């Protein structure tokens, strides 16, 4: 059984890449139900406006939204970093803005993963200027060890170690988003050398 489970939880892909399950789909769904209950418990009467950060948060937002009872609306925003060097200095570019005004709304920013925190720091600055009634943050994954910016999420699904993860919306080079679980990605030996030199 142990061997069988191991065989299923680790899988090789082309290009020398392999993934190892870190959080199963059913654990994710259970956690999302708990997070939804907590969020609604904090704002029992209020319409909630979820803002998902594309593309990584699509599955998290769609599952979370369906678990929160009462009035819920949602919108999406997309950001990209200017490049690796400038990204670490907090330079983030808005590539798709929200459709609707958030002034006076109770806004929950929905992010796939909180890593350095620079993206979230940028987004919170942008949103605060637009005068929402309240601004909260829900993240599925939190890599606390990597934090640079002084930001924190109000609702956290799982705190994870400092490893590169894919699946459930998270990608590597636009791939693996469709995995129903979160997995640690191992690159082939050649790729590791390439990324070490970057
Ligand atoms: P931050 O600005 O460093 O917090 O990074 C946030 C963004 O980086 C996330 O929304 C993801 O798109 C991406 N990211 C950070 N860590 C990972 C990872 O382990 N796997 C995939 N994407 C990641």
Distance 167 CA to ligand 1 centre (A): 12
Q: Is 114 in the pocket of ligand 1 (CB under 6 A)?
A: yes
Distance from C-alpha of 186 to C-alpha of 183, rounded to nearest angstrom: 10
Q: Is 13 exposed, middle or buried, given 0-12, 13-18 or 19+ CB atoms closer than 10 A? A: middle
- Of all protein residues, the one whose alpha carbon is nearest to atom 10 of ligand 1 is 113
Q: Which of 195, 193, 185, 189 is nearest to 13 (CA)?
A: 185
Q: Which of 119, 123, 112, 107 is nearest to 158 (CA)?
A: 112
Could you read off the pLDDT of 136-191 as tens digits, one per residue?
999 999 999 999 999 999 999 999 999 999 999 999 999 999 999 999 999 876 55
**Cβ pair 172, 4 in contact under 8 A:** no
Predicted TM-score (pTM) of this structure: 0.90
């Amino acid at each position: 059984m142990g061997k069988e489970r191991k065989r299923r939880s680790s899988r090789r892909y082309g290009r020398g890449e392999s993934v190892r399950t870190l959080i199963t789909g059913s654990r994710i769904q259970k956690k999302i139900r708990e997070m939804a209950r907590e969020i609604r418990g904090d704002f029992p009467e209020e319409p909630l406006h979820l803002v998902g950060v594309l593309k990584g948060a699509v599955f998290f937002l769609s599952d979370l939204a369906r678990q929160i009872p009462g009035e819920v609306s949602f919108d999406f925003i997309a950001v990209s970093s200017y490049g690796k060097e400038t990204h670490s200095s907090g330079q983030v570019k808005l590539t798709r803005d929200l459709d609707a005004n958030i002034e006076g709304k109770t806004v929950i920013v929905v992010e796939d993963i909180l890593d350095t925190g620079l993206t979230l720091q940028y987004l919170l600055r942008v949103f605060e200027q637009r005068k929402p009634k309240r601004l909260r943050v829900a993240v599925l994954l939190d890599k606390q060890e990597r934090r640079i910016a002084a930001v924190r999420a109000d609702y956290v699904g799982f705190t994870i170690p400092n490893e590169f993860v894919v699946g459930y919306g998270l990608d590597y080079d636009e791939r693996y988003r469709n995995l129903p679980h979160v997995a640690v990605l191992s690159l082939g030996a050649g790729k590791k050398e390439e990324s070490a030199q970057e």
